[in-house]
Structure 1
Amino acid sequence: MSELMTPIPFRELMTWITTEYRRDGAVFGVHKPYKAGMKKLPIFGETIETPFGPAAGPNTQLAQNIIAGYFAGARFFELKTVQKMDGADLAACINRPCILAEDECYNCEWSTELYVQQAFEEYVKAWCALKIMAKVYGLGDPNGFVFNMSVGYDLAGIQGEKIDTFLNGMVDASKTPIFQECIAVLKEFFPGESDYIDTITPHVSGSVTVSTLHGCPPDEIERIASYLLEKKHLHTFVKCNPTILGYETARSILDSMGYDYIAFDDHHFKEDLQYADAVPMFHRLQALADKEGLEFGLKLSNTFPVDVKAGELPSEEMYMAGKSLFPLTTTMAAMMAKEFGGKLRLSYAGGADAFNIDKLFACGIWPITMATTELKPGGYQRFTQIGDKLDALDFKPFTGVDVVGIEALSLAARSDKYHVKAIKPLPRRKLYDKVPLLDCFTAPCKGGCPIHQDIPEYIELCRKGAYASALRLITEKNPLPFITGTICAHNCMTKCMRNYYDEPVNIRATKLVAAEKGYDAYMSKITPPAPVTDGRKVAVIGGGPTGMSAAYFVGRAGIPVTLFEKADRLGGIVRQVIPAFRISDEAIDKDVALMEKMGVEVKLNTEAPSVAELKAQGYTHIFFAVGAWKAGRLDIPGNVVPVIGWLRDMKAGKDVSLGHVAVVGGGNTAMDAARAALRAGAKSSTLVYRRTKKYMPADAEELEMAIADGVEFLELVAPVEQKDGKLICEKMKLGDPDDKGRRKPVPTGEMVEIPCDTVVSAVGEKVESEVFTRNGITVDEKGIPAFKTNLEGVYAGGDAMRGPATVVEGIADAQYFANAVIGEAHKFAIPAKAVATREEAVAKKGVLCESAKCEGNRCLTCNVVCQVCADVCPNRANVVIELPDGRQQILHVDRMCNECGNCAVFCPYDSAPYREKFTLFLTREGFDESVNNQGFLPLGGKKVLVRLDSKVFEADLDAKNDLPADIEVFIWTVLTKYAYLMG
C-alpha cells in the first residue's frame, strides 16, 4: 500500500458526514458529540467556545481529522505545518511507521505530507464543514472556533510564492475555487440554510504559529516573526523548543523521573535558540505586536529531539512528546512566566490531557493543544471529556499567567504518577495471536490470562451487584477465587486496554470482591456432582494451588478423585511460605471448602504412594502437582539460609536468623522475604541484586510494595562473602543485553560491603526431581518432566512441570489435566446480564478516570466493542462497518492511510491493522501496489476485484462468484450502505 494520502472531495466528505450522522448520530467514528454552552473566550479578534484542540500534527492534516476533533469538542485548531518542501518530496523523507505513542510519544515526521495547495484546500473544506455542522447539528456557535496556521521553516520559504499564496488564501479564500465549490455543495446539501451559507466568512485564519527547525539562528526567528506581524499582519505565536532549558536541566528532570534511557546529547542545546537571546527578542516582538495592534505569544513547546537507540522508529533521530514532555514544557512555561511577570501570552502543547488541562487553564495558559492523547485509544473522543471538564471553570479574557501556579504545577509534574516513568520496563501489552480478517473484536485481558477467564463478563456482573453470579462465572474456570483474588500475578491487567488511558482495571481486586460478597450465596447453591462409575479414578499428588485446582475440576465432573498432601493442611507454598500479610489462612480455607464441595477425598499428612502402587489401587490417571521446594544454591561462605525454609519457619512461628538481613535475588519471593524480615523485627532489610531494579524479574507491583515498606536496595552487586556482621559484594556494571533484553552484569573488581548478619538466598528454587525419577518418570536437564509424562496416564503440572510458576499457570495446567481425564473441555453458559450493551461500551470510550467506586465503570468492555484501530487512526482510515446481522467489522480505507503505524501500536493483537485488515482500494494502482493487503477494488455496479488468500480474481455480487459468504456480505454492505467510502 502507498503512504500517500488522497484527500476526500468536499461533496464526498459531506456525504460521509451527513449519512453517518443521520444513521448513527456519529461523525467519522466519533460517537458522542460535544455541544458547547454559552461560554466564549476572545482570541485573535475571534472567539472560541473551548480553549483547546489538536496541535499541529497528524490530527490536523486532513479535513476529516479536523472535523472529527470539532465534533468531539475541540475549538482551537493548530493546523499542520506547511513549508516549501511538500508532497511526494517530503513523504520520501519520512520513514514508516512514523509514530510510536505506546507510552511517551515519539514521531519522525514534522510537516504536512500533502502539497501545500492540497493542505490549503483541506483547511478550507474543514472550515466550511464546521460552519454548517455547528449550525445544523446544534454543536455551538458557528463563529466559536479558530483555525491557527503553522508555517516553517525559514523566511525565504515563507516569503516564496507557494507559502505566500497559502497565507493569502487562508486570510481571504473568497476568490479560490475550493471555497466557492464548498459553498455551492453546502447549498445543495442544505437548501434551507442557503442564506446562512452565504454568510460563511472566507477569512479562514488570521493567526500563525512560527515553527523553525533545530539550529535556526535567533535573528532568523525574529525576522520570520517580524515579517508575519508587519507585512502579513497576522497574530503570531513563536514556537519554542525545549532545548531552551539547557542540557543539564533537561537531562536532570528526565533522569529523575525514570527517563534516563532517553538518549540525547548537548548539540541541539548548543545550536538552538539560547535563553539569553530569546528573552530580549521576545520583548522586541511583543512591542512590535503591540504597535501593530496584534496579539503575540509563545507556543510551548515543540517536540524534543532524541536519538533512536532501541529501534523505536526507523530513523536515526525522533521527536519526543506526551507524558515525558509535560515536565519539560511546564518548566519552560514557569521560566518564561517569571521572566515576563506573567504578562507574556503562553499557548501550550506538551503532554496536556484530561488530567492536567484544567490546571494549565487555571494558570492562565491557553489555548492548549495536544497530539499524544488523541493518538491513544479513545482517540478524538477524549476531547469530549476535556470540554466538559473545562466547562466547569470560569472563562475570562487573558489577563496574565499565574506565575506561582505554573511554577507549582511544573514541580508537581515531576512526581505525578501520570508523568513519572514506570519503575520497570513496560510489559508486553499485545497478545501473541494475529488479528483475524473478520470478527476481530477481543478482550485482551482474557487473552492474556492463562486460563482465559471471562473477565469483562464477571466485572459486569459485579457492576450490577450480582456477586454470586459473578463468583459462579469465575469458578467455571478458576476454583481458587480467594487465592487468585489476593496474590494472582494478574497478567490480565498488563493487557488491559485502560493501561493506555490511566491505569488498568483492578481485575484481581474485583475478583476478590466477587468472592467475598458472593461466597455464602454461591456455596449454598452448590450441589454435589453426579458420580461417574465408568472406572476412571484420579490421584492428585500435592495439595497446593495446582493440585487443589485439578481435584476441583475432576471432582466437578463426578469422577472420583483423591488428593494426597504430606502436610497437615492444604495450600502448599501459598499456605506455608507466602507471608500472612500477603494472604490469610481464612482466604485459603474458603478455596479449600469450594474444592471439597466437589466431593474430593483429601488425605492430609500422607506421602503419596508410588505410581505403581496407585495404579495397583485402581487409579487410572495420576497428576503430580508438587511445589518447587528445593532451594537454589548461593555458593558463598557465611550465614546463608534458603528463602523457602526461612519463610516457612517464620510463618510457623519458629525462631529465624535476623539481625541485619540481606536478601539475594530479584523475584517475587525475594520481595516477600525482604518485607517479611522488616515485619519480623530485622534491624534492616536489604535486597541485593546484580542488576538494577528495572531488570529485576519481580512484578512491578511487588517491587513497589517492597519500596513502600522501607526495604533498602543494593543494586549492581554480586555477593562474595558474609562474615563479621557484613556482606561483602563485588560491584557490577551493565553490559550488553542478553537474549531476554536484560543487560548482562559485568564484574568491575571493586568491592562494597553492608551490615549483614543473615543472608537469605532467594535464587532459583527448584522442584525435587527425585520424586519423578524414583517413579520411572523421565525428566529433562533441569530435572522436570513433560506435562504428559512417559508413563501412561501420568501427568505433571504447575511447579512440577514448569519450575517456580504462578498460581494461575498452575490452574491452567490443572484444567489441561482435567480435560485429558474427562475427554472434553468444561462447557458452561455466560449469563445474558454479564454482557454490557454496545451503547454502554461506546459511552466509555475516551474517558480517563482518576478513580471510580466500581471498577466495572472503568472496564472498557472490549468483549463488546474494541474498535481501537478505528479510534486511534488520525485520518479515520479504519472504519467500523455494521453488517445486516448486527456484527461489526473493520474496513481499512487505503486512500486515507499514510502508514503512520499508530493502529499497529495499539491493536491488541500482534498485528498491524493497516496491513492486515480487509482493505478498500480507490485505484487499480493502489490495489496492485498492496500485495499483502487482502481487500477489494470496486469496478462499477456490484463488480469488484478481490485479493483473498493470495489470490486475485473478479467477482460479481449479482451473480455466482467465488467469494466466501461472509466476505461477500461484507463487500455488499460497503457497496450499498457505505458507498461514500469509495470515492
Structure 2
Amino acid sequence: MPDPNGFLRYDRRLPARRPVPVRISDWREVYPPAGEELIREQATRCMDCGIPFCHSDTAGCPLANRIPDWNDLVRTGNWDAAVESLHATNNFPEFTGRLCPAPCEAACVLGLGGQQPVTIKQVEVEIADAAVARDGLRPRPASTPTGRSVAVVGSGPAGLAAAQQLARAGHTVTVYERDDAIGGLLRYGIPDFKLEKQHIDKRLAQLTAEGVRFRTGVEVGVDVTAEQLRAEHDAVLLACGALQGRDTPGTPGRELRGVHQAMAHLVAANRVVAAAGDGRPALATLPDGTPIDAAGKHVVIIGGGDTAADCLGVAHRQGAAGVHQLDLYPQPPTERDPARDPWPTWPWLLRNYPAHEEGGERVFAVAVQEFVDDGTGRVRAVRIAEVTVEKVDGRRIVTPLPGSEREIPADLVLLAIGFEGTEQQPLLAQFGVTRNGRGAIDSGPDWQAADGVFVAGDMHRGASLIVWAIAEGRAAAAAIHAYLGGVGELPAPVDPARQPLAAR
C-alpha cells in the first residue's frame, strides 16, 4: 500500500543541477545522481491512484510503464523488484529517464488536484542506474533459437528495442546502420550533457551478449540492396527515423554560408566530443569540410523546442559570444490553462531547459524576414519582425507587424524548426514503400508496409518522443514474431493507429 499522506508531507524536489560555470566547461550530464533518500522521498509522493493516468497509452506513457508499482517498490527500498518491474515494459529506461519530456508527469493525478506531479522521470532514471550498478545489465539470451532471421534497418531506440525483443524470442537479428557507430540520434543527435554515450555502450554490450549482430557503415539501398536483405532474412524492419529537417527555402539569404540545419551542428559537435573521448583531435565540420563551431560567434537559433535547446547548450559549451533563440509563437504561460489544455492532456507551457539558465536570450512572437549578407556570401545578421500567428482552415497564417523589423547580429544561424519526416532514400523504392503526406511510411494494422517489411518509430509516425519510438519498436517486434510463427506472444503496448490524447 502507498503512503496516503506522502504527497502532503513532501514537496516535489529534483537533485540540484551541477553549477553553470562548472558544467559549461565540459560535456558531462547536467544532473548528478540523486541520493537514495531523495528518491525514496519523491517516490513516496505517488498515490497509487485508482485510475493511474500516468501509464495510460493515450494521456501518459505509451509503454504502459507500471509507474505506481515501481514507485512503491522504491519507497520501500525494494530496488531489485523495482528494476524488474521497470524493465518489464521498457527496454531502455536509462534513455527515457534522461530524454523523455514525461507526458506521464503531465498526466499525474496530483496535477489535477493542484499539487506538483511526482518526479516520475527522476525515479525512473535512478532505478535504471541502479540496475547497472547491481548486475551490470545482465544479458538474457534466448534458450532456444527459432532458426528465423530478421534485419533491422536503423539503430535508434525503435530499432534497438525491436532487436532486443526479437533476439530474446530466439530469432537471429542483424541491425544495419549507415553511420559509423550504433545509436541513431541517441549517438550523434543528443548532446552528452543530456545523455553520456557510456549508457548506449553498456546497453549495446548487453544486446551483443544476447545475440544481436551489428553492421555499421552499411547504407541499405546503396551498400546492400533490399533484394539482398530479403534473400538473407525472413523479415525486415525499417526504423530509419525522421531526419529530413524542415527548412525555409523562401526566406531571402537562405543560401548564405553560416546558415545550417540544427542537426548538422549537433552531429558535428557530438563527433568532436566522441573523438576527444578517444583521444583523437577533431574539428566540428560539415561533410564538405566547412567549420560549424559556435566558438566566438553570435549565434541565432530558430525554433523553440528540444532541438533548439540542445543547440543552445552546445553553443554555450563551444564558447559562443552570444546566443538568441527565436520562437514564432507568443511566450507560453507558466501554468496549465484548463480551458485550452484540460488535464490530462499535454499542456502548452513555457518549458525552461537547463540550457536556458546557462545564458542566451529568448525572443518570442518573431519570424525571420531575411538572412543578411555581409557582402561576401556569409551571413552577418538576421532581420526579424514581430508577428501574429493564427490557424485558418488548418493552415498557419503568420502576419508580420508593420514597423517592427530589426536586425540581430548572426555569424551562425541554426534552423531547429522541426522535421518533415523520413528522408527520401534508395531503400524506399527498393522495398516498394512511399512517403505519405507527413513524410512518414504508412503500415497496415500488422505494422507491415509491404509483404514481410515492417516499419516503426519516427519513420512510421513522424518525429516524436523517444518513449513512442520504444513502444512502436516493441509492438512491431510482436508483429514480426507472430509473422514468423513464433511461440507465444510478445508485448505490444501500442497499435499502429494509436495517437496521444490531445485537446481540440
Residues 564/611 of structure 1: CA separation in 2 closer, same or farther (3 Å cut): same
What root-mean-square deviation, in Å, do the aligned CA atoms of Structure 1 and Structure 2 show? 3.2
> Match for residue 646 of structure 1?
265
The one-letter amino acid of 2:91's match is P
Of 403, 417, 424, which aligns to 1:769?
A: 424
> Match for residue 299 of structure 2?
661
Indicate whether 1:443 and 2:99 are aligned.
no
Structure with a larger share of its residues in helix: 1
Deviation at 1:640, TM superposition (A): 0.8
Deviation at 1:729, TM superposition (A): 2.9
Indicate whether 1:713 and 2:362 are aligned.
yes
Query: 2:329·2:389 contact (CA, 8 Å) conserved in 1?
Result: no
Residues 487/690 of structure 1: CA separation in 2 closer, same or farther (3 Å cut): same
Task: Provide the rounded CA distance (Å) in 2 between the counterparts of 1:739 and 1:508.
Answer: 37
Task: Provide the rounded CA distance (Å) in 2 between the counterparts of 1:692 and 1:684.
Answer: 22
Task: Provide the rounded CA distance (Å) in 1 between the counterparts of 2:183 and 2:400.
Answer: 41
The one-letter amino acid of 1:763's match is I
> Match for residue 810 of structure 1?
469
Query: 2:237·2:455 contact (CA, 8 Å) conserved in 1?
Result: yes
> Match for residue 512 of structure 1?
125
- Cα displacement string for residues 426-482 of structure 1 (whole angstroms, at most 9, x for unaligned residues): xxxxxxxxxxxxxx9321111110111111111222222222322222222211121
> Match for residue 479 of structure 1?
91
Deviation at 1:739, TM superposition (A): 7.3
Task: Provide the rounded CA distance (Å) in 2 between the counterparts of 1:678 and 1:552.
Answer: 36
The one-letter amino acid of 1:509's match is Q
Indicate whether 1:678 and 2:321 are aligned.
no
Of 613, 616, 620, which aligns to 2:234?
A: 620
Indicate whether 1:571 and 2:183 are aligned.
yes
Deviation at 1:810, TM superposition (A): 0.6
The one-letter amino acid of 1:645's match is A
Query: 1:641·1:759 contact (CA, 8 Å) conserved in 2?
Result: yes
> Match for residue 530 of structure 1?
143
Task: Provide the rounded CA distance (Å) in 2 between the counterparts of 1:549 and 1:662.
Answer: 36
The one-letter amino acid of 2:479's match is A
Percent sequence identity over matched residues?
27
Equivalent pairs, count: 396
Of 774, 788, 791, which aligns to 2:450?
A: 791
Residues 786/564 of structure 1: CA separation in 2 closer, same or farther (3 Å cut): same
Deviation at 1:790, TM superposition (A): 4.1
- Cα displacement string for residues 378-414 of structure 1 (whole angstroms, at most 9, x for unaligned residues): 9xx99x989xxxxxxxxxxxxxxxxxxxxxxxxxxxx
Task: Provide the rounded CA distance (Å) in 2 between the counterparts of 1:444 and 1:576.
Answer: 33
Unmatched 5+ residue regions in structure 1?
1-30, 33-377, 387-439, 829-908, 911-983
Deviation at 1:805, TM superposition (A): 1.8
Task: Provide the rounded CA distance (Å) in 1 between the counterparts of 2:225 and 2:76.
Answer: 50
- Cα displacement string for residues 898-941 of structure 1 (whole angstroms, at most 9, x for unaligned residues): xxxxxxxxxxx99xxxxxxxxxxxxxxxxxxxxxxxxxxxxxxx
Q: Is the partner of 1:549 in helix, strand or coil?
A: helix
Query: 2:331·2:365 contact (CA, 8 Å) conserved in 1?
Result: no
The one-letter amino acid of 2:234's match is T
Task: Provide the rounded CA distance (Å) in 2 between the counterparts of 1:827 and 1:468.
Answer: 22
TM-score normalised to structure 2 length = 0.71
Query: 2:449·2:455 contact (CA, 8 Å) conserved in 1?
Result: no
Task: Provide the rounded CA distance (Å) in 2 between the counterparts of 1:520 and 1:588.
Answer: 15
Q: Is the partner of 1:477 in helix, strand or coil?
A: coil
- Cα displacement string for residues 243-273 of structure 1 (whole angstroms, at most 9, x for unaligned residues): xxxxxxxxxxxxxxxxxxxxxxxxxxxxxxx
Indicate whether 1:551 and 2:206 are aligned.
no
Higher RCO (CA-CA < 8 Å; seq separation 6+)? 2
Query: 1:722·1:759 contact (CA, 8 Å) conserved in 2?
Result: no
The one-letter amino acid of 1:769's match is Q
Deviation at 1:505, TM superposition (A): 1.0
Query: 1:667·1:698 contact (CA, 8 Å) conserved in 2?
Result: no
Deviation at 1:690, TM superposition (A): 1.8
Query: 2:141·2:167 contact (CA, 8 Å) conserved in 1?
Result: no
Deviation at 1:764, TM superposition (A): 2.9
> Match for residue 42 of structure 2?
none
Deviation at 1:784, TM superposition (A): 2.2
Whichever of the two has the greater Rg, that structure is 1
- Cα displacement string for residues 703-725 of structure 1 (whole angstroms, at most 9, x for unaligned residues): 34343222211222211223336
Of 800, 804, 822, which aligns to 2:459?
A: 800
The one-letter amino acid of 2:442's match is A
Residues 701/652 of structure 1: CA separation in 2 closer, same or farther (3 Å cut): farther
Task: Provide the rounded CA distance (Å) in 1 between the counterparts of 2:243 and 2:135.
Answer: 34
Q: Is the partner of 1:727 in helix, strand or coil?
A: strand
Task: Provide the rounded CA distance (Å) in 2 between the counterparts of 1:821 and 1:531.
Answer: 18
Query: 1:647·1:673 contact (CA, 8 Å) conserved in 2?
Result: yes
Task: Provide the rounded CA distance (Å) in 1 between the counterparts of 2:363 and 2:350.
Answer: 19
Task: Provide the rounded CA distance (Å) in 2 between the counterparts of 1:803 and 1:826.
Answer: 24
Residues 610/700 of structure 1: CA separation in 2 closer, same or farther (3 Å cut): farther
Of 209, 215, 225, which aligns to 1:610?
A: 225
Q: Is the partner of 2:406 in helix, strand or coil?
A: strand
Q: Is the partner of 1:801 in helix, strand or coil?
A: helix
Task: Provide the rounded CA distance (Å) in 1 between the counterparts of 2:458 and 2:137.
Answer: 33
Q: Is the partner of 1:685 in helix, strand or coil?
A: strand
1:137-156 equivalences under 5 Å are none
Task: Provide the rounded CA distance (Å) in 1 between the counterparts of 2:103 and 2:429.
Answer: 33
> Match for residue 826 of structure 1?
490
Deviation at 1:809, TM superposition (A): 0.7
TM-score normalised to structure 1 length = 0.38
Unmatched 5+ residue regions in structure 2?
11-48, 273-282, 285-291, 335-345, 483-487, 493-500
Deviation at 1:769, TM superposition (A): 2.6
